[in-house]
Amino acid sequence: MPLPTTADDIWPTIEKHPFAVLGFVNPKGEARAAGVMYKVRDRVLYVITGPDTWKTRHIRNNASVSITVTVQRVPIRVRAIPPAVVTFSGHATIVGIGDVPHDLAKDLTRGIEGIDDLCVIKIEPTGSFVTYGIGVAPMTMRNPKQSIARVPVA
């Protein structure tokens, strides 16, 4: 199993695992993070949220974000092997729920009540993907030098 060498090698992992940690900065310059569920469309991540949540308020103030997608590939009881991850920086914008395609809005709001008062965080990856354990066998993940890759997002 080779390490990923192009963004095309990494996007299937991002698309398959819909939970990530979204990192952002508050107005005081302090780092914050929140777990989010997302959908991918045309290599952009979309997160549903409320217009007055602290994620939304902070991202309106500073559009630079980070995303970390975890990929649990082995049973949790195998402690010597961490989950695989894909992490990257991105540029986030807040858009209205009506500003995304109807089918995407429907997927994002499935199971959510009160959808009239929602917005979407649209995240466009920038820079490079940094991966750990993507494209390698689980036992190889015990060797960091053989498990880490840096791949341009475009």
| pLDDT one-digit tens code per residue, 60-93 | 999 999 999 999 776 656 666 778 999 999 999 9
Residue 57 has φ and ψ, to the nearest 5°, of -60, -45
Q: How confident is the model at residue 120 (pLDDT cuts 50, 70, 90)?
A: very high
User: What pLDDT is stored for residue 1 in this prediction?
Assistant: 66
d(CA 95, CA 89): 19
* pLDDT band at residue 128 using 50, 70 and 90 as cut-offs: very high
Token pair listed for 10:
């990494």
Q: Is 21 helix (H, G, I), strand (E, B) or coil?
A: strand
Mean pLDDT of the chain: 91
What are the beta bridge partners of residue 149?
A: 131
Instruction: Identify the residue whose tokens are 């809005």.
Output: 105
pLDDT number for residue 141: 86
Answer yes or no: are the C-beta atoms of 36 and 22 closer than 8 Å.
Answer: yes
Is-contact 108 95, C-beta < 8 A?
no
